[in-house]
Amino acid sequence: LNDLDDLELMGRLDPAGMLQRIAELPLQCQEAQGSLEGIEIPAHYAQARNVVIAGMGGSAIGGELVQGLIEGECRVPVMVRRDYGLPAFVGEDSLVIASSYSGNTEETLSAARCALHRGTKLLAISTGGRIMELARKHAIPWVTLSYDSVPRAAVGHSFTILLSILQSLGFISQRPQELAEAIEEMHSLQDEIRPEVPGKDNPAKALAEKLYGRMAIVYGAQHLAAVARRWKGQFNENAKAWSFFEEFPELNHNALEGYQFPVPFAKETLVAMLSSSLYHPRIGERLRVTGEVLDQHRVEHLKLEAWGASPLAQVLTAVHFGDYVSAYLAMLYGVNPSPNPAIDHLKQRLGRK
Ligand code: PA5
């Protein structure tokens, strides 16, 4: 087991600077607020009757975090699409936002082409790539994502850009104050969990150590359900570890029954439940009783209370915490958190066909 207080070793295991990118999450959110400057989004886009955010992996999660946050306010349905093409309901009165860090992800390109074909209102977000070319060719508004990292590490940019688009079209209210507070909250959380804080006082290092050698199951609800998915993705891609996520209250109608078999799984699993005082009160109860059932099956579990007063602050700080845990877990396993050789291999293999 590597020593997470050995900063020199951490530096060697993280040559591409994942920990630095993670530390920049508040800065990313700050900077990305200006991303729409100079971009003309046609006024009639505000008339869209539904919004579909098309993306995969690290370029979809920002949309999902936004969707979970605004659900109670947004006057049109917002859907995150992770697949080829588009559902049949998407047409001229839809707004499709194609989000791909590289701009070359085939599923996202397929959705964008489908949107063009159907004459939907279309917007693109990428660092460049074929999505940018498509946008230029068809005079579609293209928002530049200018942050040098692996796609998932640019989540502050994609999240803030998507939030800004929905705000600027009037689908949701502006929330500069809330975002400023969320940024502050992330900074103070960082003071407790950054690599320089020794393991004995650092809850993110402590959680990574608990997760070491175990399968991480992440439970979340409402605005934190997408955060549970983010944690799962980060444990997979950064730590190269098995991980899954589930959502309350749905998990109480199936997963709860499945803690018995295969028997060895119980001791090889850790369930992390993301908790919030902002949840529906019945969800709080559900977390408590679910904990009791897990105890009966001797499955270790813990509850993490979200930081911050607003749902926005809770989402961003919970993402921040999970990102650090995933990088520390990578270090414990002795792997570089940045490259994704298996994903690259698959993309390359599919590309050759
Ligand atoms: O985080 C990652 O690197 C991946 O999950 C990618 O985001 C995913 O493969 C899609 O690629 P892109 O973000 O370039 O569209």
Structure-derived torsion over alpha carbons of residues 81, 83, 88, 93, reported in degrees to the nearest 10: 40
pLDDT in tens, 8-24: 999 999 999 999 999 99
Tell me if 237 CB under 6 Å of ligand 1: yes
pLDDT in tens, 199-215: 999 999 999 999 999 99
- What pLDDT, on the 0 to 100 scale, is given for residue 287? 98
Handedness of CA 163, 168, 174, 180 (dihedral sign): positive
The answer to whether 137 is a known catalytic residue is: no
Residue 353 has pLDDT above 80, yes or no: no
Task: Name the residue with the closest Cα to ligand 1, atom 14.
Answer: 102
Cα–Cα distance measured from residue 333 to residue 14, given in angstroms and rounded to the nearest whole number: 12
The answer to whether 353 is a known catalytic residue is: no
Structure-derived torsion over alpha carbons of residues 339, 345, 347, 352, reported in degrees to the nearest 10: 150
Q: At 301, phi and psi to the nearest 5?
A: -150, 160
Share of the chain above pLDDT 70, in %: 99
How far, in Å, from the CA of 103 to the mean position of ligand 1?
9
Tell me if 151 CB under 6 Å of ligand 1: yes
Write b or e for each residue in 319-341: b if 16 or more Cβ atoms lie within 10 A of its Cβ, otherwise e.
Answer: bbbbbbbbbbbbbbbebbbbebe
For 145-184, the DSSP string reads: ----S-GGGGHHHHHHHHHHHHHHTTSS---HHHHHHHHH
Atom of ligand 1 nearest to the CA of 59: 13
What confidence category does residue 352 fall into, taking pLDDT thresholds of 50, 70 and 90? low
Position with higher pLDDT, 352 vs 334? 334
Tell me if 99 CB under 6 Å of ligand 1: no
Residue 52 has pLDDT above 70, yes or no: yes
What confidence category does residue 54 fall into, taking pLDDT thresholds of 50, 70 and 90? very high
How far, in Å, from the CA of 57 to the mean position of ligand 1?
5
The answer to whether 187 is a known catalytic residue is: no
How far, in Å, from the CA of 343 to the mean position of ligand 1?
9
Tell me if 57 CB under 6 Å of ligand 1: yes
For residue 299, which amino acid is it?
V
Whole-angstrom distance between the N-terminal and C-terminal Cα of the chain? 41
pLDDT in tens, 126-166: 999 999 999 999 999 999 999 999 999 999 999 999 999 99
Residue 351 has pLDDT above 90, yes or no: no
**What is the residue-averaged pLDDT of the chain?**
97
Report DSSP state, residue 37.
T
pLDDT in tens, 99-112: 999 999 999 999 99
